[in-house]
């Protein structure tokens, strides 16, 4: 982390030593970038980056390899084509491509500008192995939609990340920009152009722009103006369809957060993709300080789309707490081409995801049962990852094997780590303190411009809280001991229990208890490695058993259908006879079908617990 700082400052020093005058000149005049969205050629747009004068003989131009929030190496340079470096007379200068994202230009003092074509990521996602996550990706759809995640379009010169960038965009007349980049209406080179200004390169990538036909709604929440801009390729949805739900949700978020300092403006750029075409399919969102890019399938029905937007946008909006206002130096001085990772993903993603669930129960958007269900789902999902992997170790090495495939556990176990810490804080403070309290304290202490030292954060949190928090960090966040969640549930009078729930004979809701082997005469068999219902259990049938005869009827895929139909009118007294094939042998069973139930895990309140524990649970969920 310190190293990247040193690289920046020594590079600046070099330029300063060479010729102080030019540096001063460059620092004042912004790097001028122009993007032409009108003359789209073969699904590509042309970009020109004009940095002003250079004093050194070699100049290195780079496009990010990775950007904050993605935790993956995406090499945006691979989408650049026909790179040219031009001198003041328009003649090409020699350059060498250093790697996928970097170009070294000789005769830097002669360099006027670089020019290149950019291809987009959305329509090639299907063709590449490690596709760029769509909310960080780019779209070029002539006269219709441009998703300008600017790190895919605008590069920087080594040593010149801290200078302003003027971004001029030539655009089709009927498309409008949605962005939180500051507008420079008086700097427009032409009425058909847009002009924006970023104070440093970080702001270029922190403020994506979406161009689309107007489909926008704005609303006010307690001093924040929220703008939702939506692109729906087949005109299925309007921004107004989602406005009320978003308004209600973000109002609840604002209430939950209370007096946290936040932005005055927040933009939601929603791109709905067409699943029937080569289009974006990395569904989710990427956070920025004042906006978020969301990508979801247009084919979702309104109910699912609204719920997805609530879950996704609330998560992204809570990123204004962390990492946007509480983060380490690794993030503050992000090295786009040689990133150093922080060890605190448990917080950046875990706390955020936890809050995105907690606020919903605290503000009455979901019930306590729904909240328990979500936490239980996270416990189940977390077991699909390495539960004995140190979270800090994983975080620091998230771009490498074997850590990278465990990344998504930050949304599962990462959230659960925060739930446990939240319960510890409530318990030790008689219900008063919480993770939200802790994050508010940390954001007061640091805030968006002051990073913390990666290694000292745990110590600071422990100093602000309790020794039990230290033990928890050492065992379950830094250490690799899996968490026994029931220990923490019991502190608030809860426990995970097996309970019986009614189900169907052959189907559990929409999910069948059987499967078809198409390779083998399409025989129908009982699914393996799943928990069977009481109907199959009581008849002593097992996963893998192949249906041969039911009630005297020989069974194949066709003849099973009417029997499933009949089963809806069975009573518990109905008697069924079945013959199945198990390991090559025929097994016959007969018995009453009973009332089918399944065993499910649930988080349930314990009986006969002290009032003090019930009060603690209230403080936790309804503060
Ligand atoms: Zn996130």
Go through 413-452 and write b for each residue having 16 or more CB atoms within 10 A of its CB, e for each that does not. bbbbbbbbbbbbbbbbeebebbbbbbbbbbbeebebeebb
Q: Rounded to the nearest whole angstrom, what is the distance from the C-alpha of residue 282 to the centroid of ligand 1?
A: 14
pLDDT at site 261: 67
Residue 19 pLDDT > 50: no
Q: Rounded to the nearest whole angstrom, what is the distance from the C-alpha of residue 134 to the centroid of ligand 1?
A: 14
Q: Rounded to the nearest whole angstrom, what is the distance from the C-alpha of residue 389 to the centroid of ligand 1?
A: 20
SS3 255: helix
Local confidence band at 8 (pLDDT 50, 70, 90 cut-offs): very low
Q: Rounded to the nearest whole angstrom, what is the distance from the C-alpha of residue 186 to the centroid of ligand 1?
A: 36
* pTM to 2 decimal places: 0.84
Q: Rounded to the nearest whole angstrom, what is the distance from the C-alpha of residue 571 to the centroid of ligand 1?
A: 49
Residue 4 pLDDT > 60: no
Q: Rounded to the nearest whole angstrom, what is the distance from the C-alpha of residue 324 to the centroid of ligand 1?
A: 11
Q: Rounded to the nearest whole angstrom, what is the distance from the C-alpha of residue 285 to the centroid of ligand 1?
A: 8
Distance CA 540, CA 210 (A): 59
Measured in degrees and rounded to the nearest 5, phi and psi for residue 87 equal -90, -175
Local confidence band at 5 (pLDDT 50, 70, 90 cut-offs): very low
Query: pLDDT per residue over 528-586, tens digit each?
Result: 988 899 999 999 999 999 999 999 999 988 899 999 999 999 999 999 999 999 999 99
Average of per-residue pLDDT values in the chain: 91
Provide the token pair at 301. Answer: 């029905």
CB 488 within 8 A of CB 604: no
Q: Which helix (H) or strand (E) holds 59?
A: strand 59-62
Which of 36-40, 116-120, 558-562, 574-578 is least confident? 558-562
Provide the token pair at 492. Answer: 């608030």
Q: Rounded to the nearest whole angstrom, what is the distance from the C-alpha of residue 240 to the centroid of ligand 1?
A: 26
The distance from CA 541 to its chain's CA centroid, rounded to whole angstroms, is: 42
CB 269 within 8 A of CB 242: no
Local confidence band at 623 (pLDDT 50, 70, 90 cut-offs): low
For the segment 135-152, the average pLDDT, to the nearest whole number, is 97
SS3 474: helix
Q: Rounded to the nearest whole angstrom, what is the distance from the C-alpha of residue 155 to the centroid of ligand 1?
A: 25
Provide the token pair at 166. Answer: 């003027």
Distance CA 543, CA 416 (A): 32
pLDDT at site 481: 98
For the segment 369-392, the average pLDDT, to the nearest whole number, is 96
Query: pLDDT per residue over 260-318, tens digit each?
Result: 767 889 999 999 999 898 999 899 999 998 999 999 999 999 999 999 999 999 999 99
Query: pLDDT per residue over 423-469, tens digit each?
Result: 999 999 999 999 999 999 999 999 888 999 999 999 999 999 999 99
Q: Rounded to the nearest whole angstrom, what is the distance from the C-alpha of residue 351 to the centroid of ligand 1?
A: 9
CB 351 within 8 A of CB 416: no
Q: Which percentage of the chain shows pLDDT scores above 70?
A: 95
């Amino acid at each position: 982390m310190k190293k990247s700082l040193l690289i920046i400052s020594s590079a600046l020093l070099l330029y300063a030593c060479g010729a102080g005058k030019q540096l001063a000149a460059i620092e004042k005049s912004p790097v001028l970038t122009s993007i032409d969205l009108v003359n789209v050629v073969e699904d590509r747009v042309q970009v020109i980056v004009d940095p002003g004068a250079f004093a050194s003989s070699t100049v290195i131009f780079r496009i990010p390899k990775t950007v904050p929030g993605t935790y993956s190496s995406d090499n945006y340079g691979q989408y650049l084509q026909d790179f040219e470096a031009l001198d003041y007379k328009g003649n090409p200068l020699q350059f060498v491509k250093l790697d996928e994202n970097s170009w070294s230009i000789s005769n830097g003092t002669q360099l006027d500008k670089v020019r290149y074509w950019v291809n987009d990521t959305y329509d090639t996602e299907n063709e590449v192995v490690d596709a760029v996550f769509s909310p960080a990706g780019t779209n070029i759809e002539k006269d219709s939609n441009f998703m300008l995640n600017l790190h895919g379009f605008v590069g920087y010169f080594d040593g010149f990340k801290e200078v302003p960038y003027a971004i001029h965009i030539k655009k089709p007349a009927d498309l409008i920009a949605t962005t939180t980049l500051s507008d420079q209406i008086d700097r427009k080179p032409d009425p058909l152009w847009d002009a924006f200004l970023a104070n440093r390169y970080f702001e270029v990538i922190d403020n994506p722009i979406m161009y689309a036909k107007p489909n926008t709604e704005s609303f006010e929440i307690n001093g924040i103006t929220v703008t939702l801009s939506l692109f729906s390729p087949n005109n299925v949805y309007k921004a107004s369809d989602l406005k009320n739900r978003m308004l209600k949700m973000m109002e609840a978020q604002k209430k939950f957060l209370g007096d946290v300092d936040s932005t005055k403006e927040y933009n939601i750029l929603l791109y709905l993709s067409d699943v029937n075409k080569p289009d974006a399919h990395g569904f989710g969102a990427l956070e920025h300080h004042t906006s978020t890019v969301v990508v979801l399938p247009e084919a979702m029905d309104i109910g699912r789309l609204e719920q997805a937007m609530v879950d996704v946008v609330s998560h992204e909006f809570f990123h204004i707490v962390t990492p946007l206002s509480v983060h380490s130096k690794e993030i503050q001085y992000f090295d786009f081409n040689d990133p150093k990772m922080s060890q605190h993903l448990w917080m950046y993603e875990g706390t955020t995801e936890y809050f995105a669930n907690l606020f919903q129960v605290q503000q009455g958007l979901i019930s306590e049962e729904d909240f328990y269900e979500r936490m239980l789902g996270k416990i189940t999902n977390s077991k699909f990852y390495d539960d004995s992997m140190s979270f800090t170790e994983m975080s620091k090495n998230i771009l490498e094997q074997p850590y990278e495939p465990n990344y998504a556990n930050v949304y599962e176990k990462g959230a659960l780590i925060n739930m446990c810490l939240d319960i510890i804080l409530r318990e030790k403070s008689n219900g008063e303190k919480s993770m939200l309290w802790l994050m508010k304290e940390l954001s007061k202490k640091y805030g968006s411009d002051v990073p913390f030292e990666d290694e000292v954060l745990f110590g600071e949190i422990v100093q602000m809280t309790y020794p039990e928090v230290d033990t928890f960090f050492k065992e379950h966040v830094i250490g690799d001991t899996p968490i026994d969640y029931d220990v923490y549930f019991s502190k608030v009078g809860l426990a995970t229990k097996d309970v019986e729930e009614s189900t169907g004979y052959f189907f559990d809701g929409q999910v069948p208890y059987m499967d078809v082997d198409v390779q083998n005469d399409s025989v129908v068999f009982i699914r393996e490695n799943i928990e069977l219902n009481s109907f199959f259990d009581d008849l002593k049938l097992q996963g893998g058993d192949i249906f041969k005869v039911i009630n005297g009827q020989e069974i194949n895929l066709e003849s099973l259908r009417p029997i499933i139909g009949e089963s809806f009118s069975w009573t518990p007294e109905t008697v069924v006879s079945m013959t199945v094939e198990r390991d090559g042998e025929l097994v016959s069973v007969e018995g009453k079908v009973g009332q089918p139930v399944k065993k499910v895990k649930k988080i349930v309140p314990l009986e006969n617990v002290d009032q003090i524990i019930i009060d603690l649970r209230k403080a936790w969920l309804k503060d």
